[in-house]
Amino acid sequence: MVPSLSEDEIDDILYFSRANETADLEQFLAELAGQKSCTKSELITAAVDEESGNGALHYACANGHIDIVQAVLASFDDSNAPSSAPQNGDSQVSNQSSPAMISYINTKNKSGNTALHWASLNGHLPAVEILLKRKADPTVLNAAGHDAVYEAELNDKGEVVDLLLKEGLGLDTAVKGDEDESDEEEEDAEGMEVDTDDATNAASGS
């Protein structure tokens, strides 16, 4: 059952993810899971910005916050009681990807972008690597008809393009948007970068 979260609870989860506050995020999730008798992964799944459709993984990948990416995905490995801590004492992602994790990783925001789109267009290679290992789908198209490799190409992220072409499946058949859609998506990407820069500045106190 999906837990009901207040606006403040959603804001806290998303803020910690944007601001790279890994310890605060993990503590908050553990405490809230105990209060609501649910799993941390259920909290992560329910924490979505109403206006944009962005979740914790979107913001972590947009900013390249690898510790947050790992913590978010590790929450799906926790099949114990809601308040239990990870047995190994850290937030490393296991070698398994559950159906729930895969579904969450490939969740689109209201512009049709997945976490992989955001990591790719911002050139965050380590985040892209983690997502692909956890079975992110590089062929997913956003509202402009672009896949992740197209977004990386559009933003001159050559290393990401190379990785996606090497590791991704079906990219040669993915449908690309037309020029008008490309212009529209480029504007959207610029908006994302401003948003994530603000989050990074907030995290650094500037």
Residue 151 is predicted with a pLDDT of: 97
**Structure confidence by residue, pLDDT tens digits, 160-179:** 999 999 886 555 544 444 44
Cα gap 25→149, rounded to integer Å: 30
Which amino acid is it at 92?
Q
**Structure confidence by residue, pLDDT tens digits, 99-134:** 999 999 999 999 999 999 999 999 999 999 999 999
* 3-state secondary structure string across the chain: CCCCCCHHHHHHHHHHHHCCCHHHHHHHHHHHHHHHCCCHHHHHHHCECCCCCCEHHHHHHHHCCHHHHHHHHHHHHCCCCCCCCCCCCCCCCCCCCCHHHHHHHCCCCCCCCCHHHHHHHCCCHHHHHHHHHCCCCCCCCCCCCCCHHHHHHHCCCHHHHHHHHHHCCCHHHCCCCCHHHHHHHHHHHHHHHHHHHHHHHHHHCC
Copy the structure tokens of residue 198: 């603000």
Copy the structure tokens of residue 187: 């504007």
Domains and CATH numbers, the chain: 7-200 (1.25.40.20)
**Structure confidence by residue, pLDDT tens digits, 7-47:** 999 999 999 999 999 999 999 999 999 999 999 999 999 99
**Is-contact 75 41, C-beta < 8 A?**
yes
The alpha carbon of residue 203 and the mean position of all alpha carbons in its chain are separated, in whole angstroms, by 18
CA-wise closest residue to 16 among 44, 52, 45? 44
Residue 201 is predicted with a pLDDT of: 39
- Is the pTM above the cut of 0.75? yes
Residue 61 is predicted with a pLDDT of: 98
**Structure confidence by residue, pLDDT tens digits, 179-197:** 444 444 443 443 344 344 4
The residues that bridge with 55 in the sheet, in sequence order, are 48
- Which of 75-89, 90-104, 113-127, 140-154 is predicted with the least confidence, judged by mean pLDDT? 75-89
Return the sign of the alpha-carbon dihedral for residues 80, 83, 87, 93: positive
